[in-house]
């Protein structure tokens, strides 16, 4: 039912886009799909990109946007077995491969996306880095792709609604399927929360994962930590991600650095097991695999329901706040919960129950049901709570 999977990069490489296409492919194969990865050698585009940008600069058109160009598409297709174009493709990018190339080879394309291009331009400041003519061509190409694609599937409702509202997509083609967590969980896994209330010898640990630490709200999370400390709740912010010179370094902050889940699986599990709450207070966020990873591990989560994140914070296993909520209010809510042993146990219990539901296998089962029947009878929708049943 899924013949191949495409993205801009090597879809079969665990290091491509945080391993998201790779995990999707592995789950699809385990469920009987061919799901052959499209493998693009991105290093081979370095010089063509430079020459393309130089030509644009000499013509006074500005630089940037090579990956959206016809030249990129032509070179990329030259790296792929042409037979893959004739099957059903699940693409993680709306601009590659082009619907015209797929249809010309007798194939069908379905998109699985976390954001539409209008949302990328507006919420992720992409408009500031792309020339206007490139933006216009991308928007036009996206609209055509959405009109001609077999299926349009999004990680969350925020983007699905944008596809209809901003891109003219047929709502009958549009669906939402929650993605999965990008790591392997041992079969005997259980969270190992430390007993008792937070204390100097057992501080509350707020976990943070992210490279773009400013956009993902690390400064706000540090404010929450300071507020909790003033309220008498010893708290540590534990961070996983690249350490830069400008990253906050202060008492109560621990930097574990970048953790390669492909080669440092145990270290990643040690990190995630050490956290009481996984946090993401982003300024803008289409979706977050990191939040799903904490839930997969049975760890409660916290953050702002900004953009697509409204779909990824289950109300029964999270501290979910409207964007703009101040750090004092967030800290007071966390303190009140951790002062109530029953509330803490319930929060943790619900997080553990979400664990088997936020997998790529469940995601692909929903995909197969959608492609077979045109609908998903009982999709996993985190925002509705645990009344949802795993397919």
Whole-number pLDDT of residue 262: 83
Rounded average pLDDT over 23-45? 98
| Distance separating alpha carbons of residues 347 and 331, to the nearest angstrom | 16
In this prediction, what percent of the chain has a pLDDT beyond 90?
A: 89
126-134 — which CB contacts under 8 Å span 24+ positions?
129/64, 130/64, 130/65, 131/56, 131/61, 131/62, 131/63, 131/64, 131/65, 133/61, 134/62, 134/64, 134/65, 134/68
Pick the CATH number of 204-357 from 3.40.50.11540, 3.40.50.2000, 3.40.50.300, 3.40.50.970: 3.40.50.2000
Residue 315: what are its φ and ψ, rounded to 5°? -65, -20
Rounded average pLDDT over 240-254? 80
**Domain extents for the chain?**
4-180+359-384, 204-357
Rounded average pLDDT over 349-353? 96
Whole-number pLDDT of residue 390: 44
The answer on pLDDT for 246 being more than 90 is no
Rounded average pLDDT over 250-274? 91
Helix residue ranges per DSSP H, the chain: 20-30, 46-58, 70-77, 99-104, 117-123, 132-148, 157-167, 218-230, 265-273, 289-296, 327-338, 341-354, 360-373
The arrangement of secondary structure in 4-180+359-384, i.e. its CATH architecture, is 3-Layer(aba) Sandwich (3.40)
Whole-number pLDDT of residue 245: 65
Rounded average pLDDT over 208-218? 92
SS (H, E, C) 270-328: HHHHCCCEEEECCCCCCCCHHHHHHHHCCCCEEEECCHHHHHCCCCCCEEEECCCCCHH
CB-CB neighbours of 219 under 10 Å: 12
Question: What is the pLDDT confidence band of residue 237, given thresholds at 50, 70 and 90?
Answer: very high
The answer on pLDDT for 212 being more than 80 is yes
Whole-number pLDDT of residue 194: 82
User: What confidence tens digit (pLDDT) does each residue in 53-95 have?
Assistant: 999 999 999 999 999 999 999 999 999 999 999 999 999 999 9
Q: Is it true that 4-180+359-384 and 204-357 share their CATH fold? A: yes
User: What confidence tens digit (pLDDT) does each residue in 329-346 have?
Assistant: 999 999 999 999 999 999
What pTM did the predictor assign?
A: 0.95
The answer on pLDDT for 187 being more than 90 is no
Q: Which of 40, 29, 41 is nearest to 2 (CA)?
A: 29
Question: What is the pLDDT confidence band of residue 244, given thresholds at 50, 70 and 90?
Answer: low
The shares of helix, strand and coil residues in the chain, as percent rounded to the nearest 5, are 45, 15, 40
The answer on pLDDT for 121 being more than 60 is yes
């Amino acid at each position: 039912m899924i013949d191949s999977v495409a993205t801009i990069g090597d879809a079969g490489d665990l290091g491509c886009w945080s391993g998201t296409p790779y995990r999707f492919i592995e789950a699809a194969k385990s469920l009987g799909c061919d799901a052959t990865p499209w493998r693009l050698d991105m290093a081979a585009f370095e010089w063509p990109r430079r020459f393309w940008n130089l030509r644009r600069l000499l013509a006074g058109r500005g630089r940037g946007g090579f990956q959206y160009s016809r030249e990129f598409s032509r070179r990329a297709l030259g790296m792929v077995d042409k037979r893959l174009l004739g099957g059903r493709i699940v693409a993680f990018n709306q601009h590659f491969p082009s619907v015209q190339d797929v249809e010309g080879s007798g194939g069908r394309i379905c998109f699985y996306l976390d954001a539409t291009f209008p949302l990328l331009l507006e919420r992720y400041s992409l408009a500031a880095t792309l020339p206007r003519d490139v933006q216009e061509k991308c928007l036009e190409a996206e609209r055509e792709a959405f009109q001609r694609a077999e299926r349009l599937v999004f990680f969350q409702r925020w983007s699905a609604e944008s596809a209809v509202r901003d891109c003219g997509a047929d709502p009958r083609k549009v669906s939402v399927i929650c993605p999965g967590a990008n790591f392997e969980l041992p079969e005997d896994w259980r969270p190992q929360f430390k007993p008792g209330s937070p204390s100097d010898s057992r501080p509350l640990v707020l976990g943070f994962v992210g490279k773009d630490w400013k956009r993902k709200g690390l400064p706000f999370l540090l404010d929450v930590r300071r507020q909790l400390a003033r309220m008498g709740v010893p708290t540590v912010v534990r961070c996983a991600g690249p350490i830069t010179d400008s990253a906050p370094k202060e008492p109560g902050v621990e930097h574990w650095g970048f953790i390669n889940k492909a080669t440092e699986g145990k270290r990643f599990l040690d990190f995630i097991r050490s956290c009481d709450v996984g946090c993401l207070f982003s300024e803008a966020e289409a979706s977050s695999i990191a939040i799903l990873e904490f839930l997969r591990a049975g760890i409660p989560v916290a953050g702002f329901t900004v953009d697509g994140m409204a779909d990824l914070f289950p109300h029964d296993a999270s501290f979910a706040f409207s964007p703009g909520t101040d750090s004092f209010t967030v800290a007071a809510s966390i303190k009140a919960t951790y002062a109530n042993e029953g509330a803490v146990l319930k929060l943790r219990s619900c997080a553990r129950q979400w664990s088997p539901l936020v997998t790529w296998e469940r995601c692909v089962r929903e995909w197969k049901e959608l492609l077979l029947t045109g609908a998903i009878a009982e999709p996993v929708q985190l925002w509705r709570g645990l009344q949802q049943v795993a397919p």
